[in-house]
Amino acid sequence: MDDDIREFGDQLGRRAIARDWNGVHTLLAPWLRSAVSVDEVRNFFEDEYREVLSANDIEDMHYPEHSEPQVGGNGFTNATELRKPISFAGGKQRPIAAEMTDANFRYWMHLELPCSDEQMDTLGFDSFCDIWLAVAQTPEGLRVGYWSHGAY
């Protein structure tokens, strides 16, 4: 992974950990930013947190407390590949905007927001979310062109 892409993922993850939803919103590509409000950005993350908490029989809301996100992914996927039906997921297709192209596609990123050590001990799991996102090169710089909970 190129350094600029890792730095972008770290910045995005740190803003989400800090619950800086406006800041996360500014890191969306123009086409995604115009389609998603700041409240919807918050919901995107908090819905995933709630699902993980519920799967672990926890009713109260909690947020990731680890200071650093985990960033990974792959550089061999492109927008064309992401649009193909996923055979092992019943032919599901990702709703990727037309503005996300092979030309501006930079990286298929995996972003994880881990628990702090204390949270792992008390909550019994190690990560609040498993997000995959297509990093796009835009005139504004690197931005999120598409994202989803899980890779599929």
* Residue 124 reports pLDDT greater than 90: no
Strand partners, 70: 112
Alpha carbon of residue 78 to chain centroid? 17
Range of the domain at 57: 3-149
Considering its fold, how many domains does the chain have in total?
1
**What pLDDT does residue 26 have?**
97
| pLDDT (tens digit per residue) in 40-82 | 999 999 999 999 999 999 999 989 988 889 999 988 889 999 9
**What pLDDT does residue 109 have?**
95
Provide the token pair at 41: 């950005």
**What pLDDT does residue 79 have?**
93
CA proximity to 111, closest of 136, 93, 128? 128
> Global pTM?
0.90
Classify residue 18 by its DSSP letter: T
* Residue 84 reports pLDDT greater than 80: yes
**Three-state DSSP class for residue 117:** helix
Alpha carbon of residue 100 to chain centroid? 16
